[in-house]
Amino acid sequence: MNKSDRPSSIFHLPSSICVYDYENKLYINLTNRCSNACTFCIRSKQDGLNGHTLWLQREPTASEVIAALEKRNYKSSPEIVFCGYGEPACRAAEIVEIGGFLKRNGVPTRLNTNGQGNLINGRDITSELAAAVDTVSISLNNSTAERYQAVCRSRFGLAAYQGVLDFTRLCVPKFKRTVMTVVSLIGETEIEECRKICEGIGAEFRVRGYDSYT
């Protein structure tokens, strides 16, 4: 989302945060950049979650995130999730550094992503990510490139959808768990089409509630 797309009120909000809690887990907010501009994106509706402002005044360094995690008793979180308020794969190097720190400290991790990380970075980053993160959860959203682009409005155009599928195929043999998600709102027929695509790739399939953030 571009600055010009954001609600004007965000420019008057107090401090933003790079580590936040949601449903008893800690989440890491690395960036507000994203290759998509989804019609349903929570960022166009609210400025954050649980009273946390998630629009970043600047992107945090990996060291700043680790320091914030240490202040939040991170070892008690059952899982720590790279998620929002933008696409985490825009900051692949920081995911690797922070994920490596969490792995060394025995904390399970997950990356929630739009699956365009290889397109964004212009190379295959799946091995690096899988070495640092346990689970990858990829938003499939729809069963065709046209439907996907109509809803997700990727800057990569129709090529984005194939990029998501290719990214997932590369993740399956490398991550402990590779999950693809859709939201229940797309309807039973579309859900079943997506299920077939997901199963063909070998990833786990999950249907999320429409109001589910993660």
Q: Residue numbers of the site for ligand SF4 (CB under 6 A)?
A: 34, 36-38, 41, 43, 86-87, 114, 152
Closest to ligand SF4 by CB, 85 or 101: 85
Shortest spacing between CB 114 and ligand SF4, in angstroms: 4
* Ramachandran region, residue 118 (left: φ > 0; alpha: ψ -120 to 50; beta: rest): alpha
Per DSSP, which regions of the chain are E strands? 19-22, 25-28, 48-49, 52-53, 80-82, 109-113, 135-139, 177-183, 204-208
Shortest spacing between CB 159 and ligand SF4, in angstroms: 16
Shortest spacing between CB 43 and ligand SF4, in angstroms: 6
Closest to ligand SF4 by CB, 35 or 178: 35
Shortest spacing between CB 166 and ligand SF4, in angstroms: 17
* Ramachandran region, residue 144 (left: φ > 0; alpha: ψ -120 to 50; beta: rest): beta
Closest to ligand SF4 by CB, 36 or 178: 36
CA triplet 190, 49, 183: central angle to 5 degrees?
Answer: 5
Closest to ligand SF4 by CB, 74 or 85: 85
